[in-house]
Amino acid sequence: MTDLTHPIDVLVAGGGNAALCAAITARRAGATVLVLECATKDFRGGNSRHTRDIRYMHKAATGFVTGAYGEEEFWRDLLGVTGGATNERLARLTIRESETLGDWMPANGVRWQKPLRGTLHLTRSNLFMLGGGKAMMNAYYATAARLGVEIAYETEVRELKMTDGQFASAVASRNGGSNEYAAKALVVASGGFEANIPWLKEYWGDAADNFIIRGTPHNKGGMLKELLRHGAKPEGDPRGCHAVALDARAPKFDGGIVTRLDSVPFGIVVNKKVKRFYDEGEDFWPKRYAIWGRLIAEQPEQIAFSIIDSKGLPHFMPSVFPPVEAASIAELAKAFEIDPNALSGVVEKFNRSVRGSKFDPGSLDECHTEDLDLPKSHWARPIDTPPYYGYPLRPGITFTYLGVTVNEQAQVIMQDDRPAKNVFAAGEVMAGNILGRGYLAGFGLTIGSVFGRIAGREAARRAGF
């Protein structure tokens, strides 16, 4: 077992991407580092172990990306998704610093692979990790161990002892007991609070009981609460969360990437009252998938049903749970315990309204509806070819946006706008500074990697290295 009795320079709370980037960097600077990870060794790595790819700035194509992706294009893409809800100084810092990740990550054990088909059109801007986030985290843990970083698993930090922005120690539960860890500097890299249903209920009410959490059950936001209790300045919309349409049969936590469903543009979606509620073909799916979680969260009982026919099935990534199959629309409705006559009526009306015959999933095609109160703008084809298929959908929460404010040194900013002396934050717990709204695929890891490295460097400096 790890000897935890000697003094620590840098304490890291959390065990995902941001935490390990910080730990490795601080250790390489010469500091002694202890990582406190809530999860067991098998389930270490938080949401980072569910990832596949990272967005980074680069000047030219390589064996793993198909072309250049420069600072201005990256910045414009970020502005596009956030609508300006971003701190430009921190965002540009993140973008510029991301350039070195293409080399830094392999230098710390990560291996790249060529992008696979069906990966949201990211072949130019994003690097894909061979073996995904799980392999990335295993590589980082192996590197950290080789460098002499100490890791304590199944250790949940419950309390921070801080005075006037100065961290003294952290109290954590371990093996049924409670230990106090003093350190010269603290890096908080403990993710968001998406796994804390009671906290989500403060903003979403009882609807949050029906949310499915795509990642780790350990991101309960305990550290975020502690930082806020000590006067850290909050950043980001407390109600804001990234939420996708998820297979309702997914496990409550940790279903990861495979339980997301991409069938929506190829049919219609109705709620429990058998009403369509949003244009399923409004825009390309990579630009729309992240709004569907919230849309479903606003429906009765937070459930919806994606209805397609056999023509639709080949056009999206195969689902991990097989679709519900039926010979008729009415039968499909019965399987979902919704009104069969109502669903048959909705489908017939939809089929009659379809115009255009040049179906093309690769473009904003001409297949649309006419004279429906709620139009479908593209990829509208009659749902008329049995067997019929359906998926039950629930809101799948990826992460929350509320976090703490930081500066360019990753120092936590207190409510009087002064930086905490020796407290740093990295990853999802501060991502709201840069990504105040929306999402850019692969950018969660970018923020965590860049700020993890900065936090590690600055924490080591604060500890005298």
Ligand X SMILES: Cc1cc2nc3c(=O)[nH]c(=O)nc-3n(C[C@H](O)[C@H](O)[C@H](O)COP(=O)(O)OP(=O)(O)OC[C@H]3O[C@@H](n4cnc5c(N)ncnc54)[C@H](O)[C@@H]3O)c2cc1C
Report if residue 256 touches ligand X, rule: CB under 6 A: yes
Report if residue 13 touches ligand X, rule: CB under 6 A: yes
Report if residue 240 touches ligand X, rule: CB under 6 A: no
Q: According to CB under 6 A, which one of 9, 37, 150, 458 is a site residue for ligand X?
A: 37
245 close to 289: Cβ distance less than 8 angstroms: yes
Report if residue 23 touches ligand X, rule: CB under 6 A: no
- Stretch 287-346 residues interacting with ligand X (CB under 6 A): none
- Stretch 154-173 residues interacting with ligand X (CB under 6 A): 156-157
Report if residue 135 touches ligand X, rule: CB under 6 A: no
Q: Which of 241, 282, 290, 289 is nearest to 263 (CA)?
A: 289
Report if residue 50 touches ligand X, rule: CB under 6 A: yes
Alpha carbon distance 151, 14 (integer Å): 10
User: Contact region for ligand X (CB under 6 A) — 34-42, 61-69, 82-90, 369-377?
Assistant: 34-42
Report if residue 150 touches ligand X, rule: CB under 6 A: no
Report if residue 102 touches ligand X, rule: CB under 6 A: no
Q: According to CB under 6 A, which one of 11, 24, 54, 354 is a site residue for ligand X?
A: 54
The footprint of ligand X on this chain (CB under 6 A) covers a number of residues equal to 43
Report if residue 34 touches ligand X, rule: CB under 6 A: no
Report if residue 191 touches ligand X, rule: CB under 6 A: yes
Tokens 């935890």 map to which residue? 4
Q: Which of 318, 314, 336 is nearest to 326 (CA)?
A: 336
> What residue type is 220 in one-letter code?
K
Report if residue 17 touches ligand X, rule: CB under 6 A: yes
Q: According to CB under 6 A, which one of 381, 428, 456, 457 is a site residue for ligand X?
A: 428
Report if residue 262 touches ligand X, rule: CB under 6 A: no
3-state secondary structure labels for all residues of the chain: CCCCCCCEEEEEECCCHHHHHHHHHHHHCCCCEEEECCCCCCCCCHHHHHCCEEECCECCCCCCCCCCECHHHHHHHHHHHHCCCCCHHHHHHHHHHHCCHHHHHHHCCCCEECCCCCCCCCCCCEEEECCHHHHHHHHHHHHHHHHCCEEECCEEEEEEEEECCEEEEEEEEECCEEEEEEEEEEEECCCCCCCCHHHHHHHHHHHHHHCEECCCCCCCCHHHHHHHHCCECEECCCCCEEEEEEECCCCCCCCHHHHECCCHHHCEEEECCCCECCCCCCCCHHHHHHHHHHHHHCCHHHCEEEEEECCCHHHCCCCCCCCEEECCHHHHHHHCCCCHHHHHHHHHHHHHHEECCCCCCCCCCCCEECCCCCCCCCCCCCCCCCCEEEEEEEEEEEEECCEECECCCCEEEECCCCEEEEEEECHHHCHHHCCCCCCCCCHHHHHHHHHHHHHHHHHHHHCCC
Minimum gap (Å) between residue 214 Cβ and ligand X: 4
Report if residue 390 touches ligand X, rule: CB under 6 A: no
Given the complex with ligand X, which of 326 and 393 has the nearer CB atom?
A: 393
Given the complex with ligand X, which of 312 and 448 has the nearer CB atom?
A: 448
Q: According to CB under 6 A, which one of 445, 450, 455, 460 is a site residue for ligand X?
A: 445
User: Contact region for ligand X (CB under 6 A) — 204-212, 217-225, 273-281, 328-336?
Assistant: 217-225
Minimum gap (Å) between residue 51 Cβ and ligand X: 3
Q: According to CB under 6 A, which one of 8, 15, 309, 425 is a site residue for ligand X?
A: 15
Q: According to CB under 6 A, which one of 8, 19, 295, 425 is a site residue for ligand X?
A: 19
Minimum gap (Å) between residue 86 Cβ and ligand X: 15
Given the complex with ligand X, which of 25 and 271 has the nearer CB atom?
A: 25
Q: According to CB under 6 A, which one of 18, 232, 383, 454 is a site residue for ligand X?
A: 18
Given the complex with ligand X, which of 16 and 432 has the nearer CB atom?
A: 16
Report if residue 395 touches ligand X, rule: CB under 6 A: no
Report if residue 51 touches ligand X, rule: CB under 6 A: yes
Q: According to CB under 6 A, which one of 22, 26, 189, 264 is a site residue for ligand X?
A: 189
Q: Which residues bind ligand X (CB under 6 A)?
A: 13-19, 36-39, 45-48, 50-54, 156-157, 189-191, 214-216, 218-219, 222-223, 256-257, 398-399, 427-428, 442-445, 448
